[in-house]
Amino acid sequence: MRSQETDRVFQSLEEFRIEIPSWGFANTGTRFGKFTQAAAATTPEEKFSDAGQVHLLTGVCPTVALHVLWDLPEGIQNTDKVNKLAARYGIRPGSINPNLFQDQVYKYGSFGNPDLSIREQALRHVKESIEIAQHLNSRDISLWFADGSNYPGTANIRQRKRWFEEYLRTSHAALAPYQRMLVEYKPFEPAFYHTDLADWGMSLLMARAAGPRAKVLVDTGHHYLSQNIEQIVAWLLSENMLGGFHFNDRRYADDDLTMGSIDPYQVFRIFNEILFFERETGKRADIAYMIDQSHNLKNKIEAMIQTVVMAQQLYSKAALVDHKKLAEAQNDADLLGAESILQDAFATDVRPAIQEWRASKGMPTDPLNAFRESGYLLRITKERAARNAQSVSSYA
| Contact predicate 271/314, CB 8 Å | yes
Average pLDDT, the chain: 96
pLDDT score of 192 more than 60: yes
pLDDT, one tens digit per residue, over 346-370 is: 999 999 999 999 999 999 999 999 9
Please give the pLDDT value at position 393: 45
How far does the chain reach from its first CA to its final CA, in angstroms? 49
Burial class (CB in 10 A: 0-12, 13-18, 19+), 247: buried
Provide, rounded to the nearest whole percent, the portion of the chain with pLDDT above 70: 98
Per-residue pLDDT band for 391 (boundaries 50, 70, 90) equals: low
pLDDT score of 132 more than 70: yes
Which has the closest alpha carbon to 55: 23, 86, 80, 95?
Answer: 86
Which architecture characterizes domain 15-389 according to CATH?
Alpha-Beta Barrel (3.20)
- Our measurement of the distance from residue 29's CA atom to the centroid of its chain's CA atoms, rounded to an integer in Å, reads 18
> What is the pTM assigned to this prediction?
0.96
CA 174 vs CA 127, 204, 220, 245: distances in Å: 7, 20, 29, 23
Please give the pLDDT value at position 255: 92
What residues does each domain of the chain span? 15-389
Cβ-based neighbour number of residue 166 at 10 Å: 15
- Helix (H) or strand (E) holding 165, with range, is helix 157-173
| Contact predicate 92/63, CB 8 Å | yes
When mean pLDDT is compared across 123-127, 223-227, 234-238, the lowest value belongs to: 223-227
Please give the pLDDT value at position 2: 67
| Contact predicate 114/154, CB 8 Å | no
Which has the closest alpha carbon to 290: 319, 270, 311, 313?
Answer: 311
Please give the pLDDT value at position 201: 98
- Our measurement of the distance from residue 172's CA atom to the centroid of its chain's CA atoms, rounded to an integer in Å, reads 21
Mean pLDDT of 216-227: 96
pLDDT score of 1 more than 80: no
Q: How far apart are CA 57 and CA 100, in angstroms?
A: 34
